[in-house]
């Protein structure tokens, strides 16, 4: 019997700017038979995919045409079973809020060979392009990455750990829950004037940074009309944005999503 040489590469595409892809990611994109990609992957990244490669869009959240997670898992098993070199491309880093682990568990259960290629996660890519260092000796010695996708509205996060001093809290998927997050943090003892930033489309032309405090941020974000994807950064380090913002999307040669 011919050995099946199909393989799945779980690749991080970074936060948006294609320049943030790893060399390994670019090399794999160039030689893939098929790419299965998510909505967070920017078109500039897909420019590295040769025209002959098949592209499969795994869908958008809150969209009827989304492939369910189980469907994606079985699709990957099927494609690899056909002997293909499959790149499963995910925004940011596949192991950070990317369900990468779940997809690999299915592959492992089916004996499919795989590799993982890390990517620049939104916390580091977006904070860099917003000029907000996540740690700084004067302000934060610790940094937490949490999901703001609140199950049943609230009480899902460990609020007392989020309001500790001298730390930065980075919230993924926190746009919808922002008013509740700000309210809970203040209710658990965070200062109402604690600085907070919400960054939309970090590292690409449509990047927008809105800064404020826990007290006024929900209102400011609503006024600015920010849309997903947005990353929320909470902590004293946000003050540095004013001094360190360097990325000017209008003047930069960066891609749109």
Active site residue 90: no
Q: Which of 47, 60, 158, 216 is catalytic?
A: 60
**Taking the alpha carbons of 209, 229, 42, 113 in that order, is the dihedral positive or negative?**
positive
Tell me the window of 80-88, 96-104, 110-118, 177-185 that interacts with ligand SAH (CB under 6 A): 96-104
Tell me the window of 24-32, 63-71, 79-87, 223-231 that interacts with ligand SAH (CB under 6 A): 223-231
Active site residue 60: yes
- HSE, side-chain direction, 13 A CA sphere, residue 188: 16
Measure the CA–CA gap between 164 and 248, rounded to whole angstroms.
33
Q: Does 106 bind ligand SAH (CB under 6 A)?
A: no
Structure token digits, residue 63: 């969209």
Of 35, 76, 201, 237, the residue at the interface with ligand SAH (CB under 6 A) is: 201
Q: Does 237 bind ligand SAH (CB under 6 A)?
A: no
Nearer to ligand SAH, 6 or 98 (CB): 98
Write down the least CB distance from residue 175 to ligand SAH, Å.
7
Q: Does 122 bind ligand SAH (CB under 6 A)?
A: yes
Q: Does 93 bind ligand SAH (CB under 6 A)?
A: yes
Of 44, 92, 177, 218, the residue at the interface with ligand SAH (CB under 6 A) is: 92
Look-up of token digits 């056909």: 82
Structure token digits, residue 9: 């590469």
Tell me the window of 18-26, 70-78, 104-112, 228-236 that interacts with ligand SAH (CB under 6 A): 228-236
The interface mask with ligand SAH, positions 9-28, x = CB under 6 A, is ------xx------------
Tell me the window of 107-115, 131-139, 156-164, 227-235 that interacts with ligand SAH (CB under 6 A): 227-235
**Taking the alpha carbons of 247, 206, 67, 58 in that order, is the dihedral positive or negative?**
negative
Q: Does 211 bind ligand SAH (CB under 6 A)?
A: no
Q: Does 181 bind ligand SAH (CB under 6 A)?
A: no
Write down the least CB distance from residue 166 to ligand SAH, Å.
23
In the complex, the residues that contact ligand SAH under the rule CB under 6 A are: 15-16, 40, 90-93, 96-98, 121-122, 126, 172-173, 199, 201-203, 228-231
Which residues have a catalytic role annotated? 38, 60
């Amino acid at each position: 019997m011919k050995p099946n040489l199909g393989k799945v590469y779980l690749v991080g595409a970074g936060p948006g700017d294609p320049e943030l892809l790893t060399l390994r990611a670019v090399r794999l994109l160039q030689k893939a038979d098929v790419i299965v990609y998510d909505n967070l992957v920017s078109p500039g990244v897909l420019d590295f995919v040769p025209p002959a490669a098949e592209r499969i869009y795994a869908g958008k959240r809150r969209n009827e045409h989304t492939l369910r997670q189980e469907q994606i898992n079985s699709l990957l098993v099927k494609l690899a079973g056909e002997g293909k070199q499959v790149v499963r491309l995910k925004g940011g880093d596949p192991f950070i809020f990317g369900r990468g682990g779940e997809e690999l568990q299915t592959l492992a259960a089916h004996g499919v060979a795989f590799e993982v290629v890390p990517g620049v996660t939104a916390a580091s890519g977006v904070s860099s392009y917003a000029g907000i260092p996540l740690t700084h000796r004067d302000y934060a010695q610790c940094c937490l990455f949490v999901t703001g996708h609140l199950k049943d509205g609230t009480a899902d996060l460990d609020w007392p750990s989020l309001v500790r001093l001298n730390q930065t809290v980075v919230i993924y998927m926190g746009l919808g829950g922002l008013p509740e997050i700000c309210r809970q943090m203040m209710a658990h003892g965070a200062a109402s004037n604690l600085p907070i930033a919400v960054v939309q489309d970090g590292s690409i032309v449509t990047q927008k940074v809105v800064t404020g405090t826990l007290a006024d941020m929900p209102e400011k974000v609503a006024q600015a009309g920010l849309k997903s994807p947005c990353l929320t950064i909470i902590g004293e380090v946000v003050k540095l944005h004013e001094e360190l913002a360097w990325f000017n999307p209008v003047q930069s040669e960066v891609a749109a999503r």
